[in-house]
Structure 1
Amino acid sequence: MALDFLTPLNSEILDFVSNLSSQHLGSKIVFHTKDDFPDLKKIKIAIIGVLENRGIENDSKPVNLNHIRKEFFGLYPGNWNISIGDLGDIQAGNSKEDTYFALQKITSLLLKNDVFPIVIGGTQDLTYAMYRAYDDLEQMVNIVSIDSKFDIDTHSETINANSFLSKIIANEPSNLFNFSNVGFQTYFNSQEQIDLIDKLYFDAYRLGDVSNNLTLSEPVFRDADLVSLDLLSVMSSYSGNFTNFVPNGFSGKEVCVLARYAGISDKVSSFGLFNHNNSIQESVLISQVIWYFVEGFNCRSHEYPFGTKENYFKYTVTLEEDLIFYKSNITERWWIEIPLLYNSNNKVKKMTLFPCSQEDYISACNGEIPERWWKAQRKNSI
């Protein structure tokens, strides 16, 4: 059974939790211990540690998640109405592929049981295993990566933290529908990589653009299935990671906002945090990022997919063709209609709704076709 890959929490964590007050978050979480395993039917979010770091060469330092867990369990919860379980850790296998297999099977099992996995790595190549977990669900997958790099390396034959997207694109079965990068820094990505992202009609948002307007990224997360956070996208002055010095990146506040956007998205079904340095300093930020994700998860409005359009205002903008926008009168979030080709032989089309922003609507009113609409159109026609 897939859950057999998980090892229980160690006594250091359990002793720490036992000394917390009843108001602390740790007192409200169920744990995988040597004597007990959480009932998946009674939890909504599952925390999983993955002690795998071979995705970065010459990194022999063992993954230690104790600091992160202590910081997170020591926080106070919000006004949440969700149950959380910590399922323990996946130990590093004899090879990276063994670890991928274990994570894939566990993530797939949780998704099928309607349990949301929060995966704490380890290196970011574990995103590949999380992506492969959707194979059994027979669905196309949208990935959003909060990262300064695209992690494309067409010359690498193996999967690692800097090439996992290449393998997601190239390896069969190909279930990737869209990839979006939030926060890339141009000097970390070759022109060849930037051109490939554009050629595939993927979305990429520069760090400066997102930092200047964080709401730009909200529709991106609203359309995601899997969100992967590279903690090296956060400035060292905020993360406390001075082992791998990062002079430019997101601030602590900004990455927490992005995590909340990911959590509040009705479509996001898995979340991973990777490439931390095991330090007490960085674990403080990581725990708060997870907290904000759970806060967003608790505030989900369940607007996706539409059950009815009664709670939405409809706006029609006439350009070369009519663009149909919908605005929720509950959350004030926006969607745009996109024709989706679902029969390539007779070109039969149906309409689907695509997340967008108010700025997209304003651009359409000014005679400009929104770039996200254009890319989605081209992708659907491939």
Structure 2
Amino acid sequence: MEFDFLTPIDTDLLIDIKNLSSQHLSSKVVFHTEDDFPDISKINIAIVGVPENRGAGENATTSDLSFIRKELYNLFPGNWSKIIADLGDILPGNSKEDTYFALQKVVSKLVKNKIIPIIIGGSQDLTYAIYRGYDDLEQMVNLVSIDNKFDLGKQQETISSESYFSKIIVDEPNNLFNYSNIGFQTYYNSQEEIDLMEKLFFDAYRLGEICNNLSISEPVFRDADLVSIDLNSVKSSDSGNLNNYQPNGFNGKEICSLSRYAGISDKVSSFGVFNHFSAKQESPLIAQIIWYFIEGVHYRSNEYPFGSKDNYIKYTVPLDDEDIVFYKSNKTERWWIEIPFFTNSHNKLKKNTLLPCTHDDYLAACNQEFPERWWKAQRKSII
């Protein structure tokens, strides 16, 4: 029933795509057509278009996803073993809420079947619907947004691409465990919003901080369930966005590297690209962002969930009145830090969980400095 919301690929577009050579990505993808729907038991990654832009305001243009599909399927795949399907589009409903409902049901069905949905929006408020798709999975959700804003909006605003995150924080059931913003630009966010991020122990990384060292974002993605990209986080000279000019932001190489980090994460189970309104100009970059995410998925190391510790080196660092424990993978040389948390309301039953971190976090601990991500995670386990 959930897939009844999906409309097949346009016939003329499908003809153009099928006319590409057998070496192109198009030949490796199973398409939803007028006559056939892909067997979801045989796919690993599902591409879903959602041309819903009402959340971007009255002046938003209609998303023409055909440009993105042409660019994507005209690329050459890597040595990939994952089965990819294009399930078509969820067309805008009578209201935004109708579209949210349809997307929520589709995402829930796919994630339950261990299929990674790649959502091509549409405005970024669709992230809210993807997040709600995890409701039936009975799990807490870690959301990572690559965005120049926090999208908190004003309390009285209806949900939009610039206020959807407030709805995620407030609405029940509240399944959000952590939120991380990658690439925010300070002048687009009020001091009150920045202070709120700190108060809620969320992670926010400025654009300059990430551009100076992209690798610090890798552990953030490693702990994410849902990754949402706002194309406004990319500077217009690289994205081709002529409708909403952005003088600063990530360049094309950087946004593709971040997308690959998201794909490599064993934990990421849904991915979306939103707020692209110069469809033809932005489509080459969007196609490459998706390509790099799929490339990352192919090279996942399957280190999550953290199983036997035989393949990890344990490091114990004495710090003040307690020991901080780190683990380093022999396979990928990636690092984790052990976080204590409490499992009942009286904070008496103490257990440990593992949080992705960097080698620099380990070095900071050796210099008697508490890693910031450790501190925030521990604070969350107490309150």
Instruction: Count residues in correspondence.
Output: 382
Give per-residue Cα distances to partners, 1:125-166, cap 9 Å, x unaligned.
000000000000010000000000000023333110000000
TM-score by length of 1: 0.99
Q: Give the % identical residues.
A: 67
If the length of structure 2 is used for normalisation, what is the TM-score?
0.99
Q: Contact 1:64 / 1:278 at 8 angstroms: preserved in 2?
A: no
* Deviation by residue 1:308-336 (Cα, 9 ceiling, x = unmatched): 01111111100121000000011010000
Q: In 2, distance between residues paired with 1:224 and 1:19?
A: 37
Q: CA deviation at 1:60?
A: 4.5
* Match status 1:364 vs 2:330: no
5+ unaligned residues in a row in structure 1: which ranges?
none
Determine the C-alpha separation between the residues in 1 that align with 2:60 and 2:351.
52
- Contact 2:47–2:120 (Cα < 8 Å) also in 1: yes
1:1-382 → structure 2 map (5 Å cutoff) = 1-320=1-320, 321-345=322-346, 347-382=348-383
In 2, the alpha carbon distance for the partners of 1:222 and 1:242 equals 33
CA distance in 1, matches of 2:20, 2:278: 23
Deviations 1:195-243 (CA, angstroms, capped at 9, x unpaired): 1111000000000000000001000000000000000100111111111
**For each residue in 1:18-38, what CA deviation from the matched residue of structure 2 results, as whole angstroms up to 9, or x when unmatched?**
211111001110000010000
Shift of 1:263: 0.3
* Aligned amino acid, residue 75 of structure 1: L
For 1:104, what is the secondary structure of its paired residue? helix
The residue identity in structure 2 corresponding to 1:256 is: C
| Partner Cα separation in structure 2 for residue 261 and residue 217 of structure 1 | 8
| Preserved CA contact (<8 Å) 2:65 2:279 | no
- Partners of 2:32 and 2:59 in 1: how far apart? 28
Distance in 2 (alpha carbons) for counterparts of 1:49 and 1:308: 39
Matched residue type, 1:353: L
Matched position secondary structure for 1:310: helix
d(CA) in 1 for partners of 2:290, 2:227 = 12
RMSD: 0.8
Contact 1:156–1:163 (CA under 8 A) maintained in structure 2:
no
Separation (CA, whole Å) in 1 of partners of 2:11 and 2:67: 14
For structure 2, the residue ranges without an aligned partner over 5 or more in a row are none
Q: Aligned with 2:361: secondary structure? A: helix
Q: Offset at 1:346? A: 5.7
Determine helix, strand or coil for the equivalent of 2:337: strand
Q: Equivalent residue of 1:258, what SS?
A: helix
The alignment partner of 2:130 has SS state of helix
User: What's the CA shift for 1:114?
Assistant: 1.0
2-side partners of 1:311 and 1:156: how far apart? 51
- Give, in angstroms, the shift of residue 363 of structure 1: 0.4
Contact 2:111-2:269 at 8 Å conserved across structures: yes
**Aligned-partner residue type, residue 210 of structure 1:** I
2:354 aligned partner, one-letter code:
L
Query: What amino acid is aligned across from residue 346 of structure 2 in structure 1?
Result: N
Counterpart-to-counterpart distance in 2, 1:61 and 1:338: 46
Paired residue secondary structure (1:55): helix
